Structure 1
Amino acid sequence: MKQLLVLFFAFFSLYSHAQKQTFSVEEVREDMAVLKRKFEKLHPGMYHYNTKQEYEKIYDSLYNSLTQPLSYLEAYKVLAQLVTAVEDGHTNIRFDAKRFNAKKVKYVPFYLRKIEDRYFISLNTSQDSTVVRGSEVIAINNERIDLLMQKLKVFVSSDNGNEAVKNYYTTGLFPNYYLRQYGEIDSVTITYRLPYDNKILRKKLACLNTGQINKLSETRYKAFKRPNLSVKVIDSLNRIALLDITTFSMTGKFLDYGQNKFKRGLRNSFKKIKKQGIEHLIIDLRANGGGYIPNISRLLKYLSPTPFTIVDTVAFKKSAYFSIVKPYYITPPLLFWLWFPKRKGEFMYRVNKGNNNQQPVKKELAYTGKSYFLTDPGCYSATTFTLNVAKDLGIGQAFIGQTVGGASWGSFAGTWENFKLPNTRYVIHTPLYKITHRLPNQVNKGFFLDLDYEVNRNYQELIKNNASVIDFTVDMIRASKEANQR
């Protein structure tokens, strides 16, 4: 009986800790110290973008600002700044699953789009259908929208502090970021104007869970779906087609670790492209956040006439060794050491020596026409990897759209460590590898991908639900063909 009581109180203590509502100054400071210490041990990009002096200045400022107990969300806002100050898009801070049940928690039921300095409803997933797409948002719960968005940007991690990425995610994932700022609420009051109307309206909208939002979205915006690896002929006369790649991750149902579903889907897409005799292929990578690195090679094999290599070096911190290869693996830790024979400072790394380890596909499926890549700030990780290697290989007549999210040199990715902070229990998602792209020709001169044409989103595009960047590219191809025929 005594043992049962001990177990009960131990369980109750753990449950109470998980549901704790406030944290002392000492507890938050302890979490800050643990977070910083873990980053310095594990993160291959710690002090890569932000110097140690700059980071410690932010750390000290936050440390000294703590004078009284903090709520769960107040602690989040402090700790999130230490995460985003690393300035790496693969590094983030997450709520403990016990705190917010992803399926049950209620979200603000609409999404936004920023056009110039104004914010508009891009998707209305509320139960009130009168707040139509294209309505301009002026305030939410009496808070000016521009001031609110500045608050939310603090939560967004981006490579080298990419401002375009911060705008992209705080609007495109607005419900998620609003939850981080204000927690779960039952309803929200929106101040807005309908399209082409100066009259200011106010409406109270009920917040909904993910299932309810998805159901409404499926009903209202079914036509907005972009099936991955789909091929659409846009202009049969000029032989122009669009290949839509929304993700580089695509697995089958049964242990598809090698993502052969993606491989098969890609092959089928290029069969269609070949059958249709396409001469101008627009590859739409907008909103593609990345995925499985081998799928980069699979795509480029259809486009490159020559052999190529995509990865130059892979490195990690020596101090992260047993986070990558767990001690209980027994044999692998001993062998893994041999795969990374080079040392430089605190890093272990290996170099891919050859430039030809990826061979183009057979001629009957190889695409030999002209290609054009569409981009936006949602292009990250494996996607910016693809874009930069393609540009360096001379693939692509033009790169068109908006600034991409990921750096040109490479990224911190590959394998991750998720660790919990001892008091607040926030989960910190940390990359462990530094992966550098193989770019021997050094075609790209900027920190981010150099675009040939910048095409931003506009209000008419939002209202009509089309893509101005696709229209721009098609018009450019047609104009080029007409010029050649003169």
Structure 2
Amino acid sequence: MAFVERSKALMPVFIRLCIAAAAALLTPPATAATVGTIDPVDLQADLRIALDTIERLHPDLSHSVTKADLEQAAEKVSEQLTRPMTQDEAWAALAQLNPIMADGHLFVGLPDWRGQSAEAIRQGKGFFPFEVSLDGDGYPVINTALGGATTPLAGRRILRINGQDARMIADTLLARAHGDTLAFRTALVSQRWWLLHWKLYGAPSSYDLVLSGSAETHRVPAGYVLPAVLQQEASFERLFQCRVDADGDAQMTISAFYWEDKERFYRFTQDCFAQMKAASTKHLVIDVSANGGGDDDMWKQGILRYIATQPYKHGSTYVKREKTGEITEGMIETATQPGVDEPLKFSGKVTVLIGPLTYSSAVLFSNVMRDYGFATISGTGNAARARQSGGVQQLTLPNSGLVLSYPRFVLDPPSGERSPFFLQPDAAPQQ
């Protein structure tokens, strides 16, 4: 790789790379407030550390990208690291590797972006004023005001933002997003538009927008409320919902398989299944369409104990990078036993609703529900691989403070089959 060979204090570049690699393990994590601007040689060092870490510690890089394609993409990034950069600028450069790596668990990310965003709001910084989704032509379409409040502009396509073509802006954001597929990355950019637009285009106090249906320019003040995704992640009631109807249908919305107080989640699901038993529910829809994953025990203990009718495994064959650095391959041998004496056992029809943001542990959950016949899979698929990586590790790059995430294992579905390649709905029954 052709790195920029500039010295700092006359220290040879290869020595500085070695020192930087060691510092990655010893230095406290850098933040946007502490890194200031980063010299080109230090940016190059972080890039090399990221690549070396991926190639040395990923259990099966070919799961999502070839080494040659990754090195070629890194070469293009390296050519851009020729001037001092802020942390945001460094992320904008290094994050161009993310779509190439094509795995939601393998990416260069911003450190504590949730905390930074909440703090920015507290300090009076505003973000892009709308929650949006990208349409089929790649334009952002207004859903709500930032944070979820209604707006009379809902449904309008945004054509230009501050004089720039909105579709080109969307392409720029997508070029830094991580995830298995374009469909996944599109959904992620839609959800985090406010964040990515801030990091790439700054945070002005107002935005000049040209919307579909009119040539008029709308000047809209920035939004000064917590974005919807951050509100949802902080609220148990928004993440987890149960609705039991009198007509025999019920819906359980599980938007994450993580909550710090797991016992609260287990009480929630127990209560929901108790309501279903009292109402003689015949059909349960479990909505994981916005579930990005978490801990497997959340769905094993919180959901499968009430549904499973036979022993099940959460996967089959795997390849794993041990902490010693050795790669091992094997088969999951231990099965989880169903709760045969569970008084709230649900015996009706179950449908699992998936979407473009269904990922990680939520994919494993969906695989189990499908492969053991516990449920029918419905919704929108072809966004995440059925064969999932996991066991995410993180490394703070020492000079920029950016975070490299990478997996420790890759796991096949319980069936052991690699077809279909992507998680997708079951075929509709023929009439």
**TM-score between the two structures when normalised by the length of structure 1:** 0.71
Query: C-alpha displacement at 1:115, in angstroms?
Result: 3.3
Equivalent residue letter for 2:309? P
Q: Is 1:154 the counterpart of 2:161 in the alignment?
A: no
Query: C-alpha displacement at 1:436, in angstroms?
Result: 3.8
Of 205, 208, 215, which residue of structure 2 is paired with 1:189?
208
Q: Is 1:29 the counterpart of 2:44 in the alignment?
A: yes
CA contact (8 A) 1:81 1:155 kept: yes
Partner of 2:379 in structure 1?
A: 401
Query: C-alpha displacement at 1:226, in angstroms?
Result: 6.4
Of 124, 130, 136, which residue of structure 2 is paired with 1:110?
130
Partner of 1:20 in structure 2?
A: 36
Of 308, 311, 314, which residue of structure 2 is paired with 1:307?
311
Aligned counterparts, 1:41-440, within 5 A: 41-96=56-111, 101-105=116-120, 106=125, 107-117=127-137, 118-125=139-146, 131-159=152-180, 162-193=181-212, 198-209=213-224, 212-213=225-226, 227-234=238-245, 236-237=246-247, 239-252=248-261, 259-298=262-301, 299-313=303-317, 315-318=319-322, 320-321=323-324, 346-349=326-329, 351-354=331-334, 356-362=335-341, 364-396=343-375, 398-403=376-381, 405-411=383-389, 413-417=390-394, 419-440=395-416
Query: C-alpha displacement at 1:317, in angstroms?
Result: 2.3
CA contact (8 A) 1:109 1:213 kept: no
Q: Deviations over 1:313-333 (max 9, x none)?
A: 565324x438xxxxxxxxxxx
Q: Distance in 2 between matches of 1:359 and 1:453?
A: 27
Q: Distance in 2 between matches of 1:246 and 1:17?
A: 32
Query: C-alpha displacement at 1:56, in angstroms?
Result: 1.4
Q: Where does structure 2 lack aligned partners over 5 or more consecutive residues?
A: 1-29
CA contact (8 A) 2:315 2:413 kept: yes
Equivalent residue letter for 1:243? M
CA contact (8 A) 1:127 1:206 kept: no
**Structure 1 residues 15 and 300 mapped into 2: Cα distance closer, same or farther (>3 Å)?**
closer
SS in 2 for 1:93: strand
Q: Is 1:446 the counterpart of 2:424 in the alignment?
A: no
Q: Which of the pair has more CA radius of gyration? A: 1
CA contact (8 A) 1:303 1:366 kept: yes
Q: Deviations over 1:345-384 (max 9, x none)?
A: x403553324x43223535321111111211111101111
Q: Deviations over 1:41-91 (max 9, x none)?
A: 223343421111111121223324545544544332221123443221023
SS in 1 for 2:407: strand
SS in 2 for 1:241: strand
Equivalent residue letter for 1:352? I
**Structure 1 residues 102 and 227 mapped into 2: Cα distance closer, same or farther (>3 Å)?**
closer
CA contact (8 A) 2:256 2:293 kept: yes
**TM-score between the two structures when normalised by the length of structure 2:** 0.80
SS in 1 for 2:119: coil
Partner of 1:331 in structure 2?
A: none
**Structure 1 residues 433 and 426 mapped into 2: Cα distance closer, same or farther (>3 Å)?**
same
Q: Distance in 2 between matches of 1:451 and 1:369?
A: 19
Equivalent residue letter for 1:18? T
Query: C-alpha displacement at 1:288, in angstroms?
Result: 0.9
Q: Distance in 1 between matches of 2:68 and 2:90?
A: 23
**Structure 1 residues 51 and 227 mapped into 2: Cα distance closer, same or farther (>3 Å)?**
same
CA contact (8 A) 2:173 2:196 kept: yes
Q: Distance in 1 between matches of 2:164 and 2:31?
A: 35
CA contact (8 A) 1:23 1:71 kept: no
CA contact (8 A) 2:132 2:190 kept: yes
Query: C-alpha displacement at 1:391, in angstroms?
Result: 0.7
CA contact (8 A) 2:147 2:227 kept: no
CA contact (8 A) 2:109 2:403 kept: yes
Query: C-alpha displacement at 1:125, in angstroms?
Result: 2.5
SS in 1 for 2:405: strand
CA contact (8 A) 1:45 1:434 kept: yes
Equivalent residue letter for 2:241? S
CA contact (8 A) 1:47 1:55 kept: no
CA contact (8 A) 1:229 1:269 kept: no
Number of residue pairs aligned between Structure 1 and Structure 2: 392
Cα RMSD for the two superposed structures: 3.4
Q: Deviations over 1:6-63 (max 9, x none)?
A: xxxxxxxx99993423532x33222211111121222334342111111112122332
Equivalent residue letter for 1:310? H
Q: Where does structure 1 lack aligned partners over 5 or more consecutive residues?
A: 1-13, 253-258, 323-345, 455-475
Q: Distance in 1 between matches of 2:423 and 2:99?
A: 22
Q: Deviations over 1:84-143 (max 9, x none)?
A: 432210233333569x94333232121112333243111213899765322221111111
Q: Deviations over 1:150-176 (max 9, x none)?
A: 1101221112xx111111011121101
CA contact (8 A) 1:126 1:207 kept: no
CA contact (8 A) 2:140 2:170 kept: no
CA contact (8 A) 1:189 1:202 kept: yes
SS in 1 for 2:216: strand
